[in-house]
Amino acid sequence: MSAEFINYIQDFMNRIELPTEAKDEFIRVEKIILSNKVISGIFIKNKYLMMNELIGYNEAMDAIGRLGESLGIPAYTLHFVFLLNCTDILFENYRKKHLDEQLFWDTMRDLRHKLIECHEVKGVWGTFVAHWFEGFFKMKRFTLGRFQYEEAVFKCDTYKKNGIVLSEGDKVYSFHIPASGEKFDRRARIESYRKAYDFYGCKDKGGLLYLICISWLMHKELRNILPPTSNILDFMNDFDIISSEDHEVFKDGWRVFGKYHNLPPEQLPKDTSLRKAIAEHLASGGKLGTGYGVIVFDGDKIIN
């Protein structure tokens, strides 16, 4: 690493619009790493081994996380800085695969989303879900419009509807809803499905895009506690929700309540309509959890 590379990191962070305070912290940490030959050597070694798939992603993350104790830097922060250090190789890998540069930048914005979540939930600039980024850095997960997609397999019993049949083990595409704060109204959703349809070449592969989503946003109880005008309910209507599972504890509470998620239900903040609805539901003894939804898209519309 060099002063020139620090400039690269600064430019990259500007491009994905990281908060100034976070950028300052990451440059401070980058300079600490740069000033220590042993630490910088560990960073560089793990970067090149991981990005060339000579060691596993988790092995590299474990090695970086252990440095935090000796440096007095939170592992969340070091993991984020390490990922920033890997983006130059990832950019070149996109080029080698002839992938669009804008796709790279759209996908890398998830670093910003997870950074904001980490600061809100943990009070630290970094990421507390370093494992999540493996799909991005192995170029298996991409941001296409409002949503993120990756190849997956159907893990449920045979699904049949409107002449469509999905069997266990069939290829599908799993998609995720990044916490970007952007709307996911119907127009944005359909636009994203169309981008995924084109990106994965579905027109030449039977003409259909099979999507699955496993999320707290699919849970059946949301229909009972959210108003009919809710964007979440409109989103749920895109799916045929084939299963819904209750959890004793709302594990995704941090996504809604941030740093307050561990409070008793009666003490959860109610400053938004979503928070109010969920807090009151939990306080009354209600359960939330996850649901499993299926979409079949023909390039223009949902057909299941």
Cβ count near 127 (within 10 Å): 26
Final residue belonging to a domain, choices 139, 167, 190: 139
Closest by CA to 106, choosing from 25, 180, 47, is: 180
Gap between the Cα atoms of 178 and 136, Å rounded: 13
The CA distance from 148 to 186, in Å, is: 16
Q: Is residue 161 part of a domain?
A: yes
Q: Where are the beta strands (DSSP E) in the chain?
A: 141-144, 147-153, 159-161, 164-166, 171-176, 209-215, 240-247, 288-297
Query: Do 123 and 146 sit in the same domain of this protein?
Result: no
Structure tokens, 32? 């600490």
- Residue 303 within a domain: no
Residues 151 and 133 in one domain: no
Domain count within the chain? 2
Q: What is the pLDDT of residue 205?
A: 85
- Residue 268 CB contacts under 8 Å (≥ 6 apart), including other chains: 257, 260, 261, 275, 278, 279, 282, 283
Helices 37-51 and 57-71 pack at an angle, to 10 degrees, of 170
The answer on 157 and 122 residing in a single domain is no
* CATH code (residue 161): 3.40.630.120
Are 147 and 191 in contact, with CB atoms under 8 Å apart? no
Tell me how far apart the terminal alpha carbons of the chain are, to the nearest angstrom. 52
Task: Indicate whether 277 belongs to any domain.
Answer: no
**150 shares its domain with 291:** yes
DSSP, res 151: E
Is 302 part of any domain?
no
Q: Are residues 121 and 52 in the same domain?
A: yes
Whether residue 164 sits in one domain with residue 135: no
The residues that bridge with 301 in the sheet, in sequence order, are: none
SS3 (DSSP) at 276: helix
Residue 231 resides in a domain: yes
Q: In sequence order, what are the residues at sequence separation of 6 or more whose Cβ sits closer than 8 angstroms to the Cβ of residue 77? A: 25, 26, 29, 68, 124, 125, 126
Neighbouring residues of 202: CB distance < 8 A, sequence distance ≥ 6 = 208, 209, 299
Residue at a domain's end among 139, 173, 204: 139
For residue 91, what pLDDT is reported?
98
Name the residue range of residue 170's domain.
142-248+287-297
CA angle 179, 181, 186 (to 5 degrees): 95
* 175/225 same-domain check: yes
Q: What is the pLDDT of residue 1?
A: 55
Contact 33, 44 (CB under 8 A): no
Q: Are residues 129 and 154 in the same domain?
A: no
Q: What is the pLDDT of residue 206?
A: 84
3-state secondary structure of 233: helix
What pLDDT, on a 0 to 100 scale, did the predictor assign at position 181?
86
Cα separation, 62 vs 169, in Å, equals 32
| Tens place of pLDDT per residue across the chain (304 aa) | 577 899 999 999 999 999 999 999 999 999 999 999 999 999 999 999 999 999 999 999 999 999 988 899 999 999 999 999 999 999 999 999 999 999 999 999 999 999 999 999 999 999 999 999 999 999 999 999 999 999 999 999 899 999 999 999 999 999 999 999 888 899 999 999 999 999 999 998 889 999 999 999 999 999 999 999 999 999 999 999 999 999 999 999 999 999 999 999 999 999 999 999 999 999 999 999 999 999 999 999 999 9
